[in-house]
C-alpha cells in the first residue's frame, strides 16, 4: 500500500465527531464550576461510571481523593483561573468501586470573547506506572536528603572535634580564636588548633593544617591534635612534639602530611616565655606597634621526611604583646581579581588592630572574607594570645 | 592547606542545600560572616498599595496555595472608595523567601504577627481585614491581639478547624491531610531538587529567588508542606467567640474545604457576625465569582 493510500485510509476511518470517544485518554468537559457536561468513553471506562451517572450530577472535584480535592481547590483551580491552563497535575481519581487511579491531568479554561469563563476541557491520562516510579524516585530523593543531612551532621561533629569547644580561661593570658570553614562549610576542613594546660603556669598553644579536605583529612587532623596533646605532657620541647608527630604520620596508613606551629608558654617570674617550633606552617607573629616579628625558625612539613629537623626558639612575651597564629587560608585568600590577601596585608591588618587578643581574630577573619568577597575557598583559622598587662 | 605538593591538594566540595554558612563559634562573639540586611516588612511581604491614599484601609490576605493574585478580580472594585493593600504571606508569591524561618512559622500566630507588622509599618488604623481561607483565621487572631487596629472583618470561606472532632465536623481526617501533603509532594517532583538551594535564601544571588517566584502560585514545596500542616492542623474554634468586630462570613455553596456547616458554625460563634451564603461554588469565590463576592462585601460595608 503506498503512502498516499495509507494516509487517506487513516484519515477517512475516523470522522472528526468520533474523535472524542476514540481519544487515547479520558476527556471531560465541565462548566467553569466543575460540573461534568460531557465525558468520553475512555473516561467512563477509567472511572467505572456510566455516563448518565456523571453528566450534570458530579463535579470533577467529586471524583478525586480527598487529598486531591484539597490540592485541586487550593492549587489547581487558582492556577486554571489565572493561567487558563494547568498541566501535568498528578491526582488520584476515585473510581465508582472506590479504587484509586493515579492520573496526570491537563486542563484548559475556555473563555468567551468578553472573558467570561465558558467551560473547562480536561484530559486525564492513566499514570499508574509512572506515578509508582515517581513515588519511588521521591522516596529515593527523601532518603538521599536524609543521608546528606546525616553526613553533614557527622562532618560537623568531626570538625568540632578538631578544636576545643571553648577556649580555656588562663590567668594573665587572653586567648581568642575564630574558625571559618571553606565554602558553605559542609565539608570537613583540615585546620586544627588547640590551647591546653600542661601544668600550672605551663600552656601549649598550637595550630595546624592537614593537606586536603574531607573525612580523611579530618581523621589525620584529629590524630595530629591528640598526638601533640599527649606528647606535650612528656616533653617541654615543641620540637620533640613535632618529631613525634612526624614519626606517627609516616607510619600512619594515610599519605597525608601537615603543617603545625607549636608554642609552649611558661610563666616564670611574672613573665611569659614562649618556646616555638614550626613544621612547614606560616610562622606565628608577635604584633608590635609598627611591625610584626615572626616567631620560630621555619621547618619542614610534618609527615614527609624520614629525619626532619625542627628547631626550638625562645622569646619573652611582654605584657600587652599579642601573638597571632593563623593558617594559610588567611594569606592565600584571593580577591575576585585573583590578588592574594598576602602577608603584607595580613601584617597591616593585625598592626592596625593591635591588641588585645579578644577581638583580633574576628577582625582579621572578617577582613579576609570582605577581601575575597564570596565564600572562602579554604578554611581559615586564627588564634591570638595576649600577655595580660599587670594590674 | 600547604601548597608544597600542589597537585595533591584537590579541593572537593559537596553539593548542599543547607542554610547559610556554618562557622564554629569560639571564645569571641561570632556571626556567620554573612551580614543579613534588614528587610522592611513591606518588602518582605511584597506589599502593593492602590486605591485612595487617604481612604479607609482594606487589607486583603490570601490563603494557602496561592498569593495576592487571588484578589486580582476583587480588589480593583474597592479602589475607588478605599485604600487597598495586598501582600504575600512569607513563603508565597514574591515574598522574600529567604526570610521564611521554619522555626517561626509553626502556627498561625506567626502569620497574624506578620499582618500586624504590615499594619504597624504602614501605620494602618480602622482596617477592614478581608481574609480568604486560612487567612480568615489569621485575621481573627490579629484582631484579637490588637483590636484597636481593626474596624471590620470579612472572612471568605473560613474554617476554624479542618479536622473532625467530637461534636464537630471540620470535614477532614488526619489521613486526608497526609494525603494532601503527598499530593503536594508529587506535584513538585523534579522541581524541588533543582530549586532547593535557591529557596533557602541565596543572599548572593537574589535574582534566582525572583526567577523562582515569577512562576505563578508556586511555592517552595517545603514551605508549602509546612504551611499546609499549620493550616489544616490548626484549631481556632475557641478564638471565634472572643472576636469583638463586626464580621462578615462569606460562605460558598459546595465548598469541599470549608463546608457550609463549618461556615455556619463560624457565623453562629462570632458575636457580631453576618452570615451570607454565596451562589458561588468551590473554595475560591474571589476567583470564580468575583462580582458576587465584591457585591456581598460592599453590601456589608455599607449596611
- At A386 the pLDDT is 92
pLDDT above 90 (res B37) = no
> In this predicted structure, what is the pLDDT of residue A183?
74
The secondary structure element, H or E, covering residue B60 is: strand B56-61
Instruction: Report which of residues B251 and B219 the model is more confident about.
Output: B251
Quote the pLDDT of residue B39.
62
**What is the distance between the alpha carbons of residues A384 and A378, in angstroms, rounded to a whole number?**
20
B79 DSSP β-pair partners: none
In degrees rounded to 5, what are phi and psi of residue B21? -100, 145
B contacts of A73 (beta carbons < 8 Å): 65, 255-257, 282-284
Rounded to whole angstroms, the Cα distance separating B89 from B112 reads 10
Asked if B257 and A175 come within 8 Å (Cβ–Cβ), the reply is no
Give the pLDDT score at B222. 80
Closest-approach residue (CA) in chain A for B217: A79
Q: How far is CA B69 from CA A27, B75, B288, in A?
A: 29, 10, 13
**Which pLDDT value is given to residue A88?**
87
ipTM above 0.90, yes or no: no
A92 bridge partner residues: A102
- A164, closest residue in chain B (CA to CA): B26
Classify B156 as helix, strand or coil.
strand
Best-predicted range by mean pLDDT (A69-73, B143-147, B201-205): B143-147
B11–A377 C-beta distance less than 8 A: yes
Higher local confidence (pLDDT), B222 or A313: A313
- Residues of B with Cβ-Cβ distance to A305 under 8 angstroms: none
Cα separation of A263 and A307, whole Å?
21
pLDDT digits (tens, 9 = 90+) for B235-290: 999 999 999 999 999 999 989 999 999 999 999 999 999 999 999 999 999 998 99
> Which B residues 276-295 touch A at CB under 8 Å?
281-284, 287-288
Interface test with B, best of A61, A65, A74, A372 (most B CBs within 10 A): A74
pLDDT in tens, B107-122: 999 999 999 999 999 9
Residue B114 annotated in active site: no
List the single best residue of B18, B76, B183 to mutate versus A (max A Cβ within 10 A).
Answer: B183
Interface membership of B182 toward A (CB under 8 Å)? yes
Three-state secondary-structure class, residue B51 = strand
DSSP alpha helix (H) spans, chain A = 3-12, 19-22, 41-47, 51-54, 66-71, 77-83, 128-160, 214-234, 238-251, 342-353, 360-372
CB atoms within 10 A of CB A112: 9
Instruction: Please give the pLDDT value at position B215.
Output: 46
Active site residue B241: no
Provide the pLDDT for residue B52. Answer: 95
Distances (CA, A) of A150 to A144, A153, B130: 10, 5, 44
Confidence of residue A375 (pLDDT cuts 50, 70, 90): confident
Under an 8 A CB cutoff, do A67 and B176 touch?
Answer: yes
Per-residue pLDDT at A252 exceeds 50: yes
Interchain proximity B28–A175, CB inside 8 Å: no
What does pLDDT average to over chain A? 91
Chain B residues touching residue A374 (CB < 8 angstroms): 204
Q: What percentage of chain A reaches a pLDDT higher than 70?
A: 99
**pLDDT at site B26:** 27
Is B216's pLDDT higher than 70? no
Q: Give CA A97 to chain center in angstroms.
A: 49
pLDDT of residue A192: 92
Query: Residue range B45-66: average pLDDT?
Result: 95
B302 touches chain A (CB under 8 A): no
Catalytic (active site) residue B283? yes
- pLDDT at site B13: 27
- Given the residues B89, B132, B245, B283, select the one marked as catalytic: B283
Name the closest residue on chain A to residue B30, using Cα atoms. Answer: A362
**Residue B25: pLDDT over 80:** no
Quickly state the pLDDT bin for A185 (edges 50, 70, 90): low
Please check whether residue B27 touches A, CB under 8 A. Answer: yes
- The Cα A179–Cα A376 span in angstroms is 11
Express each pLDDT in A12-43 by its tens digit: 888 889 999 999 999 999 999 999 999 999 99
Give the one of B4, B26, B256 whose C-beta lies nearest to A179's C-beta: B26
Backbone angles phi, psi at B151, to 5 degrees: -110, -50
Over residues B18-47, the mean pLDDT reads 48
Interface of B with A in 75-114 (CB under 8 A): none
Q: Which DSSP helix (H) or strand (E) runs through A262?
A: strand A258-268
**Stretch B5-17: mean pLDDT:** 30
Q: Are the beta carbons of B33 and A67 separated by less than 8 Å?
A: no
Say how far apart CA B98 and CA B120 lie, in whole Å: 22
In the numeric block, which cell numbers belong to residue B253?
455553596
pLDDT in tens, A188-212: 888 999 999 999 999 999 999 998 8
Local structure of residue A113 (DSSP, 8 states): T
The reported pLDDT for the residue numbered A309 is 95
Average pLDDT in chain B: 81
Q: Given pLDDT bands bounded at 50, 70 and 90, which one contains residue B1? A: very low
Can you tell me the distance from the alpha carbon of A149 to that of B166, in angstroms, rounded to the nearest whole number? 40
Average pLDDT over residues A208-226: 89
Q: Residue A222 and residue A191: Cα distance in Å, rounded?
A: 10
* Residue range B69-107, pLDDT digits in tens: 999 999 999 999 999 999 999 988 888 888 899 999 999
Q: Which of B33, B10, B99, B276 is nearest to A364 (CA)?
A: B33
Write down the H helix ranges in A235-308.
238-251
Window 124-153 of B, Cβ < 8 Å to A: 133
Cβ–Cβ gap A213/B11 under 8 Å: yes
Contacts of A92 in chain B (CB under 8 A): 183
Kindly name the residue from B88, B96, B114, B255 that is annotated as catalytic: B255
pLDDT of residue B199 exceeding 90 = no
> Which cell numbers in the block locate residue A346?
595580613
How many CB pairs below 8 Å do chains A and B form together? Answer: 208
| Residue A180 clears pLDDT 70, i.e. is over it | yes
Of the listed ranges A20-29, A352-361, B161-170, the least confidently predicted one is A352-361
Cell numbers 468537559 label which residue? Answer: A29
Distance CA A10, CA B96 (A): 55
Cell 487567612 belongs to which residue? B135
Paired residues of A195 in beta bridges: A205
pLDDT of residue A1: 67
Q: What is the pLDDT of residue A100?
A: 93
Q: Are A183 and B14 in contact (CB under 8 A)?
A: no
Contact B66/A78, CB-based, under 8 Å?
A: yes
Looking at residue B31, its pLDDT comes to 29
**Predicted local distance difference test score (pLDDT) of residue A214:** 82
Amino acid at each position: 500500500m503506498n503512502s498516499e493510500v495509507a494516509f487517506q485510509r487513516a484519515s477517512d476511518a475516523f470522522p472528526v465527531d468520533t474523535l472524542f470517544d476514540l481519544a487515547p485518554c479520558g476527556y471531560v468537559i465541565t462548566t467553569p464550576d466543575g460540573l461534568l457536561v460531557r465525558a468520553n468513553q475512555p473516561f467512563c471506562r477509567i472511572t467505572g461510571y456510566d455516563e448518565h451517572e456523571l453528566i450534570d450530577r458530579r463535579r470533577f472535584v467529586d471524583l478525586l481523593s480527598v487529598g486531591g480535592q484539597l490540592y485541586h481547590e487550593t492549587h489547581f483551580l487558582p492556577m486554571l483561573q489565572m493561567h487558563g491552563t494547568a498541566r501535568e497535575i498528578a491526582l488520584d481519581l476515585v473510581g465508582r468501586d472506590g479504587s484509586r487511579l493515579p492520573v496526570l491531568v491537563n486542563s484548559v479554561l475556555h473563555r468567551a470573547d468578553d472573558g467570561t469563563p465558558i467551560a473547562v476541557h480536561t484530559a486525564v491520562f492513566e499514570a499508574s506506572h509512572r506515578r509508582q516510579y515517581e513515588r519511588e524516585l521521591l522516596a529515593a530523593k527523601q532518603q538521599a536528603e536524609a543521608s546528606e543531612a546525616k553526613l553533614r551532621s557527622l562532618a560537623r561533629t568531626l570538625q568540632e572535634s578538631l578544636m576545643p569547644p571553648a577556649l580555656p580561661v588562663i590567668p594573665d593570658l587572653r586567648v581568642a580564636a575564630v574558625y571559618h570553614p571553606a565554602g558553605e562549610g559542609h565539608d570537613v576542613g583540615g585546620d586544627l588548633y588547640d590551647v591546653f594546660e600542661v601544668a600550672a603556669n605551663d600552656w601549649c598553644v598550637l595550630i595546624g593544617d592537614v593537606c586536603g579536605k574531607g573525612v580523611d583529612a579530618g581523621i589525620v587532623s584529629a590524630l595530629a591534635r591528640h598526638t601533640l596533646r599527649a606528647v606535650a605532657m612528656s616533653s617541654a620541647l615543641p620540637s620533640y612534639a613535632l618529631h613525634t608527630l612526624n614519626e606517627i604520620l609516616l607510619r600512619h596508613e594515610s599519605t597525608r602530611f601537615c603543617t603545625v606551629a607549636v608554642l609552649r608558654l611558661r610563666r616564670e617570674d611574672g613573665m611569659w616565655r614562649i618556646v616555638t617550633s614550626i613544621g612547614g606552617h606560616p610562622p606565628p607573629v608577635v604584633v608590635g606597634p609598627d611591625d610584626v616579628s615572626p616567631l620560630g625558625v621555619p621547618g619542614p612539613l610534618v609527615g614527609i621526611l624520614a629525619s626532619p629537623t625542627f628547631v626550638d626558639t625562645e622569646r619573652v612575651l611582654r605584657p600587652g604583646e599579642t601573638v597571632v597564629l593563623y593558617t594559610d587560608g588567611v594569606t592565600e585568600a584571593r580577591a575576585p581579581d585573583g590578588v592574594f590577601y598576602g602577608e603584607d596585608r595580613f601584617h597591616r591588618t593585625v598592626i592596625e588592630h593591635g591588641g588585645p587578643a579578644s577581638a583580633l581574630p574576628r577582625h582579621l577573619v572578617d577582613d579576609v572574607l570582605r577581601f575575597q568577597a564570596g565564600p572562602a575557598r579554604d578554611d581559615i583559622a586564627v588564634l591570638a594570645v595576649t600577655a595580660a598587662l599587670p594590674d | 592547606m600547604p601548597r608544597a605538593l600542589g597537585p595533591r591538594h584537590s579541593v572537593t566540595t559537596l553539593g548542599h542545600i543547607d542554610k547559610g554558612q556554618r562557622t564554629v563559634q569560639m571564645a569571641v562573639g561570632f556571626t556567620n560572616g554573612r551580614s543579613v540586611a534588614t528587610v522592611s516588612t513591606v518588602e518582605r511581604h511584597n506589599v502593593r498599595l492602590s486605591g485612595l491614599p487617604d481612604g479607609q484601609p482594606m487589607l486583603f490576605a490570601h490563603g494557602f496555595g496561592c498569593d495576592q493574585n487571588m484578589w486580582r478580580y476583587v480588589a480593583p472594585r474597592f479602589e475607588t472608595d478605599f485604600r487597598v493593600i495586598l501582600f504575600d504571606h512569607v513563603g508565597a508569591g514574591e515574598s522574600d523567601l529567604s526570610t521564611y524561618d521554619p522555626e517561626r512559622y509553626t502556627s498561625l500566630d506567626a502569620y497574624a504577627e506578620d499582618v500586624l507588622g504590615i499594619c504597624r509599618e504602614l501605620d494602618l488604623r480602622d482596617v477592614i481585614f478581608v481574609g480568604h481561607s486560612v487567612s480568615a483565621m489569621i485575621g481573627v487572631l490579629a484582631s484579637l491581639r490588637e483590636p484597636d487596629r481593626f474596624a471590620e472583618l470579612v472572612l471568605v470561606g473560613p474554617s476554624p478547624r479542618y479536622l473532625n472532632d467530637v461534636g464537630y465536623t471540620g470535614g477532614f481526617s488526619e489521613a486526608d491531610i497526609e494525603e494532601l501533603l503527598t499530593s503536594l509532594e508529587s506535584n513538585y517532583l523534579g522541581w524541588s531538587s533543582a530549586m532547593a538551594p535557591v529557596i533557602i535564601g541565596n543572599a548572593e544571588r537574589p535574582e534566582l529567588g525572583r526567577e523562582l517566584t515569577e512562576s505563578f502560585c508556586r511555592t517552595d514545596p517545603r514551605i508549602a508542606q509546612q504551611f499546609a500542616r499549620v493550616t489544616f492542623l490548626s484549631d481556632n474554634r475557641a478564638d471565634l467567640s472572643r472576636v469583638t468586630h463586626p464580621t462578615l462570613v462569606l460562605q460558598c455553596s459546595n465548598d469541599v474545604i470549608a463546608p457550609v456547616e463549618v461556615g455556619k458554625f463560624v457565623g453562629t460563634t462570632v458575636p457580631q457576625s453576618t452570615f451570607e451564603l454565596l451562589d458561588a461554588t468551590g473554595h475560591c469565590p474571589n476567583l470564580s465569582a468575583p462580582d458576587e463576592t465584591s457585591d456581598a462585601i460592599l453590601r456589608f460595608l455599607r449596611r
